[in-house]
């Protein structure tokens, strides 16, 4: 941690910072510049919130962290890629894994049809929402436990493991009974109670980036899960919110190689929510893989025109098959396996 | 709802939209322009998600909602200002009500001292966190139930009602036992399970705007609470996230008169989180009131330098007294009561 | 400037940074922490671009500036408030100065009517665009020199000095012949050729903040003008671009007290562009003054319904008079003069 | 254009809108819904600014454009891809064209070395700044005309055509004497005087997206150039500004396929400015091509550690060669030519 003092700071004030640091168990290295004095705090800055303890002093201009605030999530902590197993499928470590399915489970017919079709095309995991987070209380909220049972039925028939969302701690054990991996949605990325609760499970977690969360906040939310002992976390970039109105969100693909350099966790991309437009799903899927993503999560609906939610960004099973042909070519080019 | 068709849409496709609308219980009004055909859907668009049902058709270019998606929250639904009572204090309806207290309850001495001091200066409600949402799992997470007991103690001594945050549904009944109003934090603005749960309580709710949420999404989250029968909602603007790094958030004061025109609910402003800098608390507090806010929520700490959280944005009881002098002058000028 | 080395940096690499700093005329202060080595560069960092010279070394993790990059613009350089004179009007130093007029000069009748009306109500400077920056090449581009002549005519009749925009260097001398102050629009805030050119004039400059410019970039653009010897710069906050669609821009009022603490230059606020809605002009005008602004720039049109541009955010002369009554009350409360 | 009236609009007010539309040469189609009346304006909405003429009426709630505001730039106007020739190089129409070179021309040795190296590796156009836009007036501003002469020298030696930036109208004819294509930088995307001036030239223009500009504003700026008769415009996505601090900008790759669907103009991507980090240049370059970009513009410096500007995001000639190997593989996979 680096502490920058205001230009008018006196020797007495410099001494006060040094004493305070000492009390907190830190060494101090004072460096007097022409216009500012800066103090290096020597110790593990992740143990103590120096920004609050020192930054609050009236003669301190700024406190600048030197280390990333996450630990277990960092590449420094674990240099090798983490591979997360969801059923028989693996995410991370040189694989390209595609998760596909409808936004919401709507009926047995719908989910079975999609499950069979995406499996044939090469998807390894089935997605589908039983509990749906909706901006409006008047929108379709999902089929609930019935949806979970239908997902389990689809797994039985196809062998595909399933990932589905839990919106709150109170439904988590129910969701966990059915799901092979639990999804934490973007709006819940900083629902710390939910993060702690999935951290205590021993199930893989698919953690979506909040739409206005920085990369470091995203990794801190993963840290909440890892800190409870659950290392099976798959990160998911799904677009951030910007001023651009043409797309639902702005897909931040640069975060893929960036996160790969900072963390050992696998990362997949959701081009469906990331763009909100079915015509952009294919180009952005392929771009994601080339940027280094470990996989994709794509919304597929047998008949987007009849979908109860997210129709405009869903692709058909036919379009999905065609996308998978391109995914396979790119995967080969990258020297990865599908 | 207005439906804009693509330029190449045929008569058959126009007919298909009209038929679909009819099935959904809507009338249709077709208007052929030079380059586009537009169709007005006649009916209550809040009942059916036309954006999904119609927007998904391949020859539909756009679906444009005409009405705001909230109903109970809207000024049209209830033209008169809602006044929310928290203990003896009232928020809304021509009053200026100040909520003050530390970011987190840290000790009996701290909370009692702050409570007495802010009461003397004119605050009507005491704030203080017992459960704290923190970006890092390693930061101070609050005193939990002990914090709630200390808040109750402070209420007993000063008579000030208390507002404090619940982070999850599972701690809500505990928090509700102690609190006069429940705070839902910015990161939980779209934690729909929590919104539903506080909607079922009969306690006032202080709902903070998410840092990534539009005004309409904010009002939709309030709608979740009202839809459960709880109309005692106080809105709180606390800054949105932008590219500007000099302040912790960008306080969006324009939203105050805007929300007043769209909704009957009272709105207060949090200049402490909104700016993240204690030197900006006073000017932005006063500006908020002039912009039409029904009150303020301000972080006050007896010794910000020793605060366990949010020290840099807290003001001292002495600064708070001086702020309240200015608040009183502004309130008089506005012809309001404190 | 503080240089943070990567964790794996060797002694040889530390030495290389020190040697490089020495070559650039800087002293170096090495501080070895537990996980990182940091080096304080001692010297005037505004002279040399250390971020580029040092940050590029492969074993350097980050280079952190300690000083603000502006100098002449800073409060440290000149502790007292700068007062800018535009004709007989003064902006800064305890005054509240209101600039008003139409978005664009449209006709002699229009500009004369507005000029008389805003003068009567208390405006001290007349605004009006003769050259208009428009997103579309097909929109009304302003009356050009005729507009300037009409502005001069209005000045003659009312005595109000005039401020009007120059879009490019090539029309600057023409604009300067007529105008008492030159406006640089938000889209030109980083048109460095234009900044240099107005820096060489000896006329006041009204510099608007770019809609996606940070406070520090804004002050750097002012620095371009001051660096050419022209210290008569009035800053203008006019809203920044965010994700919020309800207002044209998000008015960043916190930047007013923030800029006052960083710079000696006066700052006014434009609530018309800042919100894009005439109903928000009054509350945000008053909030701006309370936040510390030295004045306002408000769009007034005799008949907004007939305005050739920016009608929806213009107020009528009648509304302006009523606004000025409130402005006077606030000004008295603040102990300032109008 | 669709006009939505306020709920309380009377028949007389509906008639007023219809009459106003008629005066402006538009037909009107009135559609009465349950809670709102909407009016479709029939005519060419790009001719008249209805948003200003009608939106300003007090009983009008909103005016919604139906058509994109650009015309010459649109795919509807010209369905086939435009191919822009820069010297012998072509951009657009199934080619992948790489532009490479240093941020700034620094010396004869530097530019010649880079030119030879990038040509060998497969670049078709040389880039290099002679006039540099810099946030600070104290930063290196480029070599000016000497820089242009050195670029011409590099063209002579290598045969590579050159693209270089003009910052203002006054230096445009000088730049045009030397350059094969004129670059308009992101900060000048809405410098309308400069856009008009390059529109009058008969030289290709490389137009960079402003960091605060929507896709439609970007296309409108292109329209300024086309409207003057110059159709040789190459668009360039270079990252937009968001809240994410880990990268210099957020590269918006979704805009590539989006712009391809809206416009016939070619588009290239600048991963160097788009990310600000040399380690992200390769993954984001490849992702751009897969997303559909017609080419890349990459900063290459013989010794980034000594670069006078943008060192941290520049790659070495060696890294560039390695990048080009990957570019070639991707190009083949896409069935395009280099």
Average pLDDT over residues B281-304: 95
The yes-or-no verdict on residue C228 having pLDDT over 80 is: yes
* pLDDT in the model for residue D39: 85
Q: What is the pLDDT of residue C310?
A: 65
Model pLDDT, residue C306 = 67
- A52 and A183, same domain (yes or no): no
Chain B nearest CA to A231, separation (Å): 15
pLDDT of residue B259: 98
pLDDT band at B2 (very low <50, low <70, confident <90, very high): confident
Residues B9 and B124 in one domain: no
| Extended beta strands in A65-123, E state | 84-86, 89-91, 97-101
A191/B191 CB distance under 8 A: yes
Q: Are residues B24 and B165 in the same domain?
A: no
Say if A72 falls within a structural domain. no
| Domain-located, residue D323 | yes
C15 lies within 8 A of chain A by CB? no
Q: For residue D42, what pLDDT band results from cuts at 50, 70 and 90?
A: confident
At B6-56, the pLDDT tens digits run 777 888 888 888 888 888 888 888 877 767 788 888 777 766 777 777 776
- Is B246 inside any structural domain? yes
B41 vs B288: which has the higher pLDDT: B288
Contact between chains at B52 and A138 (C-beta distance less than 8 A): no
The pLDDT tens digits for D299-318 are: 999 887 666 666 678 899 99
Count how many domains chain B has.
Answer: 2
Give the ipTM. 0.90
Contact D55 C310 (CB under 8 A): no
Distance from CA of B8 to the nearest CA of D (A): 11
- Counting residues of chain B whose pLDDT is more than 70, the rounded percentage is 96
Q: Which of B7, B66, B241 sits opposite D38 (nearest CB)?
A: B66
Mean pLDDT of A62-72: 82
Q: What is the DSSP string of C32-86?
A: E-SS-EEEEEES-TTTS-HHHHHHTSTTEEEEE--S-S-STTBTTT--SPP-EEE
What does the pLDDT read at residue B187?
96
C8 vs A114 pLDDT, higher one: A114
With CB atoms and an 8 Å threshold, state whether D66 touches B38. yes
The predicted pLDDT at position C307 comes to: 64
Owning domain of residue C324? 84-333
The pair of structure tokens assigned to A123 is 């998807």
C312 and D167 in contact by Cβ < 8 A? no
Considering chain C, what is the average pLDDT of its residues?
92
Task: Establish if D76 belongs to a structural domain.
Answer: no
Q: State whether C40 and A38 contact (CB < 8 Å).
A: yes
Q: State pLDDT tens for residues C173-222.
A: 999 999 999 999 999 999 999 999 999 999 999 999 999 999 999 999 99
Closest CA of chain B from D276, distance in Å? 16
- Is the Cβ pair C214, B245 closer than 8 Å? yes
CA distance C235 to chain D (A): 17
- C335 pLDDT band, cuts 50/70/90, is very high
Q: Does A135 touch chain D (CB under 8 A)?
A: no
Cross-chain CB nearest to A192 (options B133, B190, B314): B133
Percent of chain A with pLDDT over 70: 96
Same domain, D182 and D226: yes
Q: Give the up-direction half-sphere exposure of residue C218: CA atoms within 13 A in the CB hemisphere.
A: 33
pLDDT > 90 fraction of chain D, expressed in percent and rounded = 72
> What is the average per-residue pLDDT within B297-317?
81
The reply to whether residue D283 touches residue A256, judged by beta carbons under 8 angstroms, is yes
Whether C203 and C288 map to the same domain: the answer is yes
Closest-CA distance, C104 to chain B, in angstroms, reads 25
For residue C323, pLDDT beyond 90: yes
Q: Tell the burial category of D17 from Cβ atoms under 10 Å away from its Cβ (0-12, 13-18, 19+).
A: buried
**Whole-number Cα distances in Å, D101 to C92, D145, D168, D178:** 47, 18, 22, 16
D156 and D31 within one domain: no
Counting residues of chain C whose pLDDT is more than 90, the rounded percentage is: 72
pLDDT at B306 over 90: no
Which residues in chain A are closer than 8 Å to D257, comparing Cβ atoms? Answer: 279-280, 283-284
Exposure on the CB side of residue B159, measured as CA atoms within 13 A: 7
B45: nearest CA in chain A? A138
Per-residue model confidence as pLDDT tens digits over D110-163:
999 999 999 999 999 999 999 999 988 988 889 999 999 999 999 999 999 999
How high is the pLDDT of residue C198?
Answer: 98
Kindly state the average pLDDT of the residues A36-44: 80
Same domain, D186 and D40: no
Considering only residues A21 and C309, tell me which one the structure prediction assigns the higher pLDDT: A21
Judged by CB atoms closer than 8 Å, whether chains meet at D253 and A251 is answered as yes
Identify the pLDDT of residue B175: 98
Contact between A246 and D330 using a beta-carbon 8 Å cutoff: no
| D310/D164 same-domain check | yes
Residues of C in Cβ contact (< 8 Å) with A7: 76
pLDDT band at residue D25 using 50, 70 and 90 as cut-offs = confident
pLDDT at A310: 65
Which of residues B167 and A29 earns the better pLDDT score? B167
CB < 8 Å & 24+ apart, contacts of A314-319: A314/A102, A314/A103, A314/A272, A314/A278, A314/B56, A315/A272, A315/A278, A315/A281, A315/A282, A317/A113, A317/A114, A317/A117, A317/A118, A317/A121, A319/A278, A319/A281, A319/A282
Name chain B contacts of A57, Cβ cutoff 8 Å. Answer: 305
Q: How many CB atoms lie within 10 A of CB B16?
A: 17
Confirm whether pTM is higher than 0.90: yes
The answer, for C215 touching chain B at a CB cutoff of 8 Å, is yes
State yes or no: pLDDT of D5 exceeds 70: yes
- Answer for the pair B291, C283: CB distance below 8 angstroms, yes or no: yes
| Same domain membership, residue B241 and residue B125 | yes
Looking at residue C225, its pLDDT comes to 97
Residue D190 has its nearest CB partner, among C55, C187, C196, at: C187
For chain D, the chains sharing at least 3 beta-carbon pairs closer than 8 angstroms are A, B, C
Q: What is the pLDDT of residue C193?
A: 96
pLDDT at A69: 82
**Per-residue pLDDT tens for B60-116?**
877 877 777 899 999 989 999 999 999 999 999 999 999 999 999 999 999 999 999
Domain of residue C98, CATH code: 3.20.20.70
With 70 as the cut, is the pLDDT of residue C308 above it? no
Shortest Cα distance, chain C CAs vs residue A212, angstroms: 10
Contact C253/B253, CB-based, under 8 Å? yes
Residue C136 has pLDDT above 90, yes or no: no
In the predicted model, is pLDDT for residue C60 greater than 70? yes
Partner-chain residue, chosen from D32, D38, D43, that has the shortest CB–CB distance to B34 = D43
- Structure tokens of D199? 């529109």
Q: What pLDDT was estimated at residue A55?
A: 73
- Mean pLDDT on C224-230: 96
The answer to whether B313 faces chain A, any CB pair under 8 Å, is no
Q: Considering the domain boundaries, does residue B72 fall inside one?
A: no
By the 10 Å C-beta count (0-12 exposed, 13-18 middle, 19+ buried), D156 is classed as exposed
Residues D211 and D115 both lie in one domain: yes
Could you report how far apart the first and last alpha carbons of chain C are, in Å? 43
C-chain residue closest to D194, CA distance: C168
B265 pLDDT band, cuts 50/70/90, is very high
- Which residues of chain D neighbour C136 with C-beta distances below 8 Å? 69-70, 220, 223
Q: What was the pLDDT predicted at B64?
A: 79
With respect to residue C28, please indicate whether it lies within any of the assigned structural domains. Answer: yes
Residue C112 above 70 pLDDT?
Answer: yes
Any CB–CB contact under 8 A between A241 and chain C? yes
B247–chain D nearest CA distance, Å? 12
Mean pLDDT of D330-337: 96
C60 shares its domain with C167? no
* Positive or negative: CA dihedral C237, C241, C247, C253: negative
Residue range A142-187, pLDDT digits in tens: 999 999 999 999 999 999 999 999 999 999 999 999 999 999 999 9
Report CA dihedral (B215, B216, B218, B222) to the nearest 10 degrees: 140
CATH number at residue D31: 3.30.70.1140
The answer to whether residue A77 is domain-embedded is no
**Within a domain: D73:** no
Q: Which span out of A59-68, C49-58, C164-173, D297-306 was modeled with the highest average pLDDT?
A: C164-173
Q: What is the pLDDT of residue D87?
A: 97
Question: Which residues in chain A are contacts of D277 at CB distance < 8 A?
Answer: 258
Q: Band of the pLDDT at A111, cuts 50, 70, 90?
A: very high
pLDDT confidence tier of residue D23, bands split at 50, 70 and 90: confident
Q: Which two tokens stand for residue D209?
A: 């997206």
Are the beta carbons of C52 and D193 separated by less than 8 Å?
A: no
Pairing of strands B162-165, B181-184: parallel
Residue A272 has pLDDT above 70, yes or no: yes
Sorting pLDDT into bands at 50, 70 and 90, what band is D200?
Answer: very high
Range with the lowest mean pLDDT among B216-220, C62-66, C247-251, D222-226?
Answer: C62-66
Do the bridges between strand D97-101 and strand D89-91 make them parallel or antiparallel, or are there none, so unpaired?
Answer: unpaired
> Which pLDDT value is given to residue D38?
81
Does A256 reach chain D within 8 Å, measured CB to CB?
yes
User: How many angstroms separate the first and last alpha carbons of chain D?
Assistant: 43
Mean confidence (pLDDT) of chain D: 92
Q: Does B144 touch chain C (CB under 8 A)?
A: no
Q: Are residues D232 and D314 in the same domain?
A: yes
Residues of D in contact with C174 (CB under 8 A): none
Could you report how far apart the first and last alpha carbons of chain B are, in Å?
Answer: 43
At residue B182 the predicted structure's pLDDT band, cuts being 50, 70 and 90, is very high
Residue B137 in contact with partner chain A when CB distance is under 8 A? yes
């Amino acid at each position: 941690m680096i502490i920058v003092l205001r230009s008018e700071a006196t020797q007495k004030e410099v001494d006060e910072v040094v004493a305070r640091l000492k009390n907190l168990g830190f060494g101090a290295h004072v460096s007097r510049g022409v216009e500012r004095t800066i103090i290096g705090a020597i110790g593990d800055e992740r143990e103590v919130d120096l920004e609050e303890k020192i930054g609050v002093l009236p003669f301190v201009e700024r406190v600048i962290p030197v280390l990333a605030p996450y630990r277990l999530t960092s590449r420094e902590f674990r240099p090798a890629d983490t591979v997360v197993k969801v059923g028989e499928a693996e995410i991370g470590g040189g694989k390209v894994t595609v998760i596909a399915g409808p936004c919401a489970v709507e009926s047995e017919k719908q989910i079975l049809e999609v499950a069979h079709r995406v499996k044939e095309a090469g998807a390894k995991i089935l997605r589908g929402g039983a509990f749906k987070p909706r901006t409006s209380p008047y929108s379709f909220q999902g089929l609930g436990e019935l949806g979970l049972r239908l997902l389990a039925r689809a797994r039985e028939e196809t062998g595909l493991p399933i990932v589905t969302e839990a919106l709150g701690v109170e439904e988590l054990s129910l969701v966990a009974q059915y799901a092979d991996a639990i999804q934490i949605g973007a709006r819940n990325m900083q629902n710390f109670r939910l993060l702690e609760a999935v951290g205590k499970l021993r199930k893989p977690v698919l953690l979506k980036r909040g739409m206005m969360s920085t990369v470091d906040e995203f990794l801190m939310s993963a840290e909440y899960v890892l800190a409870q002992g659950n290392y099976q976390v798959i990160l998911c970039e799904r677009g951030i919110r910007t001023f651009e109105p043409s797309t639902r969100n702005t897909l931040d693909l640069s975060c893929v190689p960036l996160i790969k350099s900072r963390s050992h966790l696998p990362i997949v991309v959701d081009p469906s929510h990331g763009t909100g437009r079915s015509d952009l799903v294919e180009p952005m899927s392929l771009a994601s893989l080339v940027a280094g993503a470990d996989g994709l999560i794509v919304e597929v609906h047998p008949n987007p025109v009849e979908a109860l939610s997210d129709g405009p960004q869903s692709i058909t099973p036919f379009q999905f098959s065609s996308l998978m042909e391109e995914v396979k070519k790119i995967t080969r080019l990258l020297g990865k396996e599908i």
